[in-house]
């Protein structure tokens, strides 16, 4: 579920109602381990009485900046959700934690699969996290040249490398497949073997699919919801993700989409538009370069970004 656009959607949805609020209580529910080995009972006293000054995002991590300089870090992993509710609401299904705020509302963390975590980070730990994660793909500092440098000398498959959070922050299975489709790159191309033009195309595609995901308030494939429980709308714009299993037609060329496994993850792509072998420079443009993409996100075009 939650990749960069989904986490950003949660962040934006909570900003107005949460920033400035005081944590008045922290209540364990069904899974105290959600706050790590210490458990909720050990961590809660450090949080009660703290005021939330900001909510920021780093990759797929949400960081609630507290007034003592520490951070409350939330990672949704596969099925986590963070929802603001009135205090008198009954616990959500799979609710593991309720953070009670002044003003009468709670931040409720729930997670069917118990992979997600809500951790209290001292400043050193937040800095370590920041250093461990790669650049933010939507920041101005993430240039095509920087992507090229990161990919150089990587021998793994393109998809596997893009999923590495140390290389670029925030990409997951859905947006990688979508970005590779827009860039017309086969997921199993060696990551270090892209031409400069291909790298620029990939750079542009990554930013475009992420921006589109945010604009549509996230992709709800099954369980994603924003801070008020609302589903996203980006699933309607997906070109390949989830479409390979039944061989649905490629939106660009019409050929049946394919499903395979790369880096242990389901991988959807078009075998014609995303060839495994890089097309030679002097070959005439094949079918992959011809048709316009009906649902192409703004900003994806066919020309190099000069």
Active site residues: 2-3, 60, 265
Provide the minimum distance between the beta carbon of 76 and DNA in the complex, in angstroms, as a whole number.
7
Q: What is the DSSP letter of 284?
A: P
Provide the minimum distance between the beta carbon of 268 and DNA in the complex, in angstroms, as a whole number.
9
Indicate the residue among 2 and 227 with the shorter CB distance to DNA.
2
Please choose, from the candidates 215, 221, 183, 195, the residue with its C-alpha nearest in 3D space to the C-alpha of residue 300: 183
Q: What is the DSSP letter of 136?
A: -
Provide the minimum distance between the beta carbon of 83 and DNA in the complex, in angstroms, as a whole number.
14
- Who's near 283: CB < 8 A, 6+ residues apart? none
Enumerate the β-bridge partners of residue 285: none
Cα dihedral 249→252→258→264 (10° resolution):
-130
Provide the minimum distance between the beta carbon of 262 and DNA in the complex, in angstroms, as a whole number.
8
Indicate the residue among 70 and 220 with the shorter CB distance to DNA.
220
Indicate the residue among 155 and 306 with the shorter CB distance to DNA.
155
Residues 156, 161, 163: CA angle, nearest 5 degrees: 145
Q: How far, in Å, CA of 118 to CA of 98, rounded?
A: 11
Cα dist. 29→47, 78, 91 in Å? 16, 19, 8
Indicate the residue among 75 and 201 with the shorter CB distance to DNA.
75
Q: How far, in Å, CA of 256 to CA of 5, rounded?
A: 28
Provide the minimum distance between the beta carbon of 305 and DNA in the complex, in angstroms, as a whole number.
26
Q: Find the helix or strand (DSSP H, E) in which 24 lies.
A: strand 23-28
Binding site for DNA (CB under 7 A): 1-3, 59-60, 75, 77-78, 94, 112-115, 154-157, 160-161, 163, 165, 172-174, 191, 219-224, 263-266
Indicate the residue among 23 and 76 with the shorter CB distance to DNA.
76
């Amino acid at each position: 579920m939650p990749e960069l656009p989904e986490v950003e959607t949660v962040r934006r949805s909570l900003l107005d109602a949460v920033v400035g609020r005081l944590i008045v209580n922290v209540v364990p529910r069904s899974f105290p381990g959600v706050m790590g080995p210490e458990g909720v009972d050990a961590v809660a006293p450090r949080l009660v009485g703290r005021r939330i000054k900001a909510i920021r995002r780093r990759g797929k991590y949400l960081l609630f900046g507290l007034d003592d300089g520490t951070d409350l870090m939330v990672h949704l992993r596969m099925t986590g959700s963070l929802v603001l509710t009135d205090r008198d609401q009954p616990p959500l299904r799979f609710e593991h934690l309720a953070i009670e705020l002044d003003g009468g509302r709670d931040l409720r963390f729930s997670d069917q699969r118990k992979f997600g975590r809500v951790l209290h980070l001292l400043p050193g730990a937040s800095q370590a996290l920041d250093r461990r994660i790669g650049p933010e793909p939507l920041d101005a500092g993430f240039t095509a040249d920087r992507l090229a440098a990161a990919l150089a000398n990587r021998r793994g498959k393109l998809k596997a490398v893009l999923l590495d959070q140390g290389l670029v922050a925030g990409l997951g299975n859905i947006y990688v497949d979508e970005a590779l489709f827009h860039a017309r790159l086969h997921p199993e191309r060696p990551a270090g073997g892209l031409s400069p033009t291909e790298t620029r195309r990939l750079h542009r595609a990554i930013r475009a699919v992420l921006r589109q995901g945010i604009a549509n308030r996230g992709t709800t494939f099954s369980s994603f919801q924003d801070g008020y429980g609302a589903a996203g709308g980006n699933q309607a714009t997906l070109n390949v993700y989830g479409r390979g299993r039944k061989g649905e037609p490629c939106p660009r060329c019409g050929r049946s989409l394919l499903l395979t496994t790369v880096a242990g993850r389901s991988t959807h792509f078009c075998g014609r538009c995303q060839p495994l072998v890089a097309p030679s420079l002097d070959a005439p443009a094949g079918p992959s370069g011809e048709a316009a993409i009906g649902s192409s996100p703004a900003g994806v075009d066919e020309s190099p970004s000069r």
